[in-house]
Structure 1
Amino acid sequence: MQQEQLLRTTVIWVAILNFSYFILEGIVALTIGSVSLFADSVDFFEDFAVNTLIAIALGFSLRTRAIIGKIMSGIILLPAIAALVQAIIKFSHPTAPDPLRLMITAGGAIVINTVCVLLLARCRNEGGSLSIAAFLAARNDIAANAAIIIMGIVTYYTLSGWPDIIVGLCITALNYSAAKEVWEAATSESLKARALAGEDID
């Protein structure tokens, strides 16, 4: 029970951090016209949603948590879809975003996500697929933020919008991978729930 309370408190704080930076990063992304930063801002909203659902779902049955885990795997795909749409829109006019503001904002995102990873690492195994979803999302976000900073350096020297589009598409791949892992974890929990209930498993 103590571990469950620790997990609930942790994910609530992580949800607050993610929602706050979602607003900040989203405003910057729209202002400078960055595909990768926009995808990353939506990703912060996805993390907010995942951690909020975890706080609500704790204490539910194993079967119910498995269902919510599968729902979360779909939520994780939202940033991927957003990045893909923005990349397609920018294909015809690949203008370069402001590299300085882009790198500063991505640097702030690394700080927020690192704090979230450290918080979630203490209890990542306490909530099954739910806590795994939160941990994987935060972990992958750090890699995406680092890629955005590197892309900002490239953009500074090339003044091309293509690096921004490419990184946006890479964020799409990262989120697909995380969604797949969460789906598999939730499926495993679902099978465990059926086994505990005495159901036949093919």
Structure 2
Amino acid sequence: MDSCCESKSDELEQLRARQSRILYLVLAINATMFVVEFVAGWLASSTALLGDSLDMFGDASVYALTLFVLDKGRRARASAAMVKGGFMLLFGLVVVADAIRKLILNELPEADWMGAVGALALFANGICFALLYRHRADDLNMRSTWLCSRNDLIANTSVIIAAGLVALTGTLWPDLIVGLSIATLFLHSAWQVIREALQEWKSGMQAASPEHNHDKPGDN
């Protein structure tokens, strides 16, 4: 029995070590791409690129938070996932606000910048997605990080399509539509992560309650 438990402990330590290495790598990729997309988004006056850059920043923060709770308990992991969901919710609302601002000011984005930077972001997030794919079912936090990466691929592809449509039509509507679509995706994913985190938190509370009740006097 001791040998079995010791073996299981070693497996968990190896799993956490693998997760940590992957998360540090995707953290570095997302932090770098945040700077690239944020600067390019302002230069190109693109809501889609700015929204994608904020998402990169959110992902980098999320990965850093996940690294912090890798060796924590169930409720700590659930709390971290709640924070992640909050980040996703916030950035979705930021994209909506910027889309409204662009509509009022009637700013036309630069399609060349949008397409080139969108393609670079797609390549970077493709690497992150491949790295995270095998760990998507490890636990709640790894699943939520994988969901973030999946959303990024969809958003990057949308930016590239929007760039082509902006070039063809000479209007800002493709950029606005993509920005609002990204916001909708993030808001939906935020709710999904928060809901799963609440379920995980309740499970942690239920798991702890028998021990609590056991210590109460007169419960025989």
What TM-score do the two structures reach when normalised by structure 2?
A: 0.87
Task: Determine the C-alpha separation between the residues in 2 that align with 1:96 and 1:145.
Answer: 19
Task: Determine the C-alpha separation between the residues in 2 that align with 1:94 and 1:132.
Answer: 39
Residue 129 of structure 2 is aligned to residue 120 of structure 1? no
Deviations 1:27-74 (A, max 9, x none): 000001001110000000011001010111111111111111111100
Task: Determine the C-alpha separation between the residues in 2 that align with 1:9 and 1:78.
Answer: 27
Give the CA RMSD over aligned residues: 1.3
Contact 1:25–1:37 under 8 Å retained in 2: yes
Unaligned runs of 5+ in 2: 1-12, 213-220
The corresponding residue for 1:8 is 20
Deviation at 1:191, TM superposition (A): 2.0
- Partner of 1:197, secondary structure, is helix
Letter in 2 for 1:162: W
Residue 174 of structure 2 is aligned to residue 163 of structure 1? yes
The corresponding residue for 1:68 is 80
Task: Determine the C-alpha separation between the residues in 2 that align with 1:95 and 1:89.
Answer: 9
Residue identity over aligned pairs, in percent, reads 28
Unaligned runs of 5+ in 1: none
Greater relative contact order structure (CA < 8 Å, 6+ sep)? 1
Letter in 2 for 1:146: T
Task: Determine the C-alpha separation between the residues in 1 that align with 2:21 and 2:39.
Answer: 28
Which residues of 2 match residues 43-122 of structure 1 at below 5 A? 43-122=55-134
What TM-score do the two structures reach when normalised by structure 1?
A: 0.94
Task: Determine the C-alpha separation between the residues in 2 that align with 1:38 and 1:19.
Answer: 14
Task: Determine the C-alpha separation between the residues in 2 that align with 1:17 and 1:123.
Answer: 18
Task: Determine the C-alpha separation between the residues in 1 that align with 2:103 and 2:110.
Answer: 18
The corresponding residue for 2:152 is 141
Stretches of 4+ aligned residues off by more than 4 angstroms: none
The counterpart of 2:201, out of the listed 190, 198, 202, is 190
Contact 2:135–2:143 under 8 Å retained in 1: no
- Number of residues of Structure 1 aligned to a counterpart in Structure 2: 199
